[in-house]
Amino acid sequence: MKTNLGHIRVNVSDIQKSLKWYEEVLDFIVDGSWPIENPKYYDFVSESGATFAIMEVESAKSYGRINFNVEDVDALWLKIKDKVDILEPLFDTPWGTRKFTILDLDGNELGFGG
């Protein structure tokens, strides 16, 4: 079976704190929220591919990994490396790309490559 990834959501413990982090550190842009009053869910603008979202939950934290393709991974690395918790510093992959992985505020692994 072939599939297309349509949506990725990670669980966060504090929606407003996480929203601010995604907007200010990674320059993500909100595309929608739910519920309309007092949102606990936000999704972000995506040029193509899967929609990425965060949702506040009161249960156990999520420790997933989501990989994002970016145009200039080196520039992004230089911009954010001193503002984030680094899991894997920028490195050359065996596939001829470069990648790094950080942790968001709730321990979700975010990989950026290009």
* Confidence (pTM): 0.77
1, part of any domain: no
19, part of any domain: yes
Using one digit for the tens of pLDDT, what is the confidence trace for 27-82? 999 999 999 899 999 999 998 888 999 999 886 666 678 888 888 999 999 999 99
The CATH number covering residue 29 comes to 3.10.180.10
96, part of any domain: yes
61, part of any domain: yes
Number of domains, the chain = 1
Q: Which domain holds residue 28?
A: 7-113
pLDDT at residue 1 in the model: 41
* Over residues 7-34, mean pLDDT: 94
Long-range contacts of residues 2-8, Cβ cutoff 8 Å, at least 24 apart: 5/49, 5/50, 6/50, 6/51, 7/43, 7/50, 7/51, 7/52, 7/53, 8/50, 8/51, 8/52, 8/53, 8/64, 8/66
2, part of any domain: no
In terms of pLDDT, which residue wins out, 16 or 9? 16
